[in-house]
Structure 1
Amino acid sequence: MIDNTKTTQSSLIDKSQSLYDADYNLWLEETVKQLQAKNYEMIDWENLIDEVATLGRSEKRALESLLIRLFEHLLKVVYWESQREYNLDHWNGEIQTFRTQILKLLKTSPSLKPYLIEVFDECYQDARKIMIKRTGLDSTSFPSEAIATVEQALDEDWLPSRNSL
């Protein structure tokens, strides 16, 4: 019954509008069905290729976002002295969460490791800018060079301290 409803839904879509544009979820379901049936001539290849390419971009954006957030919290731990006593446990928890998420992403997509290395310094600079605005501290309060190596940033047992920097 559901398949008939979907077929009816797809036939009701304006012919000038593709299924992809009219009902994305239905397009996904129909594309999966066509792939499973090896019915390749019925595949909307242009949109499928775009979607697959977007998946890779999404993983890269997620990695960058997680790395920026990790650096923000590492910087907070060391340099935001006025908030440290009240927030340290929360910041440490967030650091662990971001590390875990990055490591899981790298585990499922190990080919992202070179990209992590490529954007590492840029992500640190983004986090540094965010922290300068968030804390109101002078830009000289935060090192211009990354406060961690890739290995340190992802090491669950490592936390920066002013003495180690």
Structure 2
Amino acid sequence: MALEIQPIIQTLYDQDYYLWLRTTINQLRTSQFSSVDLDNLIEELEDMGRSQKRTVKSLLIRLFEHLLKLTYWNVERERNEGHWKGEIRTFRREIKDELKDSPSLKPYILEIFDKCYQDARIEASDRSQLAIDIFPSIPIGSLEQILDENWFPEYNHNHHGKPD
């Protein structure tokens, strides 16, 4: 009987993802474990973990990018400071929400911290058209600092903030 059900569930996954999801949840709730499409369920669970990691990585890069623009892009700061600070707060909150839901992601953030900072330097340079060496090669704050809602780096007034 399970062999007859399996192709139907497989087809359901391919044809109507949401219905497959609701069916799978119902099967699990009602202990119909032999009917569950385990291969696709396992794949979906693995994808969820990868997706969460990608989300955290993207948020961290965007957070660093906005902190760098706020700190070093002097010419645009007056016009964009409010927007950048708002974005910084949003990215901080979203990262904290991810960590609250999945505290085990904190070691992953520490693992990707420096690489995300380097990626953010490139993004900030591209977006500001400032030379990349305007942005320090060492991260401008610790993880605790950049996630602290009240912490902002001191503005760098040494560079005019115009493209070189």
Q: What TM-score results when the alignment is normalised by the length of structure 1?
A: 0.86
Q: Output the CA distance in 2 between the equivalents of 1:161 and 1:130.
A: 20
Q: Output the CA distance in 1 between the equivalents of 2:24 and 2:148.
A: 41
Q: Output the CA distance in 1 between the equivalents of 2:122 and 2:108.
A: 21
Q: Secondary structure at the match of 1:68?
A: helix
Structure 2 residue corresponding to 1:29, chosen from 22, 25, 29 = 22
Q: How many residues are aligned here?
A: 150
Q: Output the CA distance in 2 between the equivalents of 1:95 and 1:36.
A: 41
List runs of 5+ in structure 2 lacking aligned partners. 157-164
Structure 2 residue corresponding to 1:118, chosen from 111, 120, 124 = 111
- Match runs of 1:8-87 below 5 Å: 18-87=11-80
Q: Equivalent pairs: percent with the same residue?
A: 53
Structure 2 residue corresponding to 1:154, chosen from 143, 147, 159 = 147
Question: Could you tell me which residue of structure 2 aligns to residue 98 of structure 1?
Answer: 91
2:66/2:124 contact within 8 Å kept: no
Where does structure 1 differ by over 2 angstroms across 4 or more consecutive aligned residues? Answer: none
Cα displacement (A) at 1:162: 4.4
Q: What TM-score results when the alignment is normalised by the length of structure 2?
A: 0.87
Amino acid at match of 1:64: K
Q: Output the CA distance in 2 between the equivalents of 1:108 and 1:139.
A: 35
Higher-RCO chain (CA-CA 8 Å, sequence separation at least 6): 2
Q: Output the CA distance in 1 between the equivalents of 2:34 and 2:58.
A: 38
CA RMSD of aligned residues (A): 1.6
2:28/2:36 contact within 8 Å kept: yes
Q: Secondary structure at the match of 2:26?
A: helix
Q: Output the CA distance in 1 between the equivalents of 2:36 and 2:59.
A: 35
Q: Secondary structure at the match of 2:92?
A: helix
Q: Secondary structure at the match of 1:18?
A: helix
Amino acid at match of 2:144: E
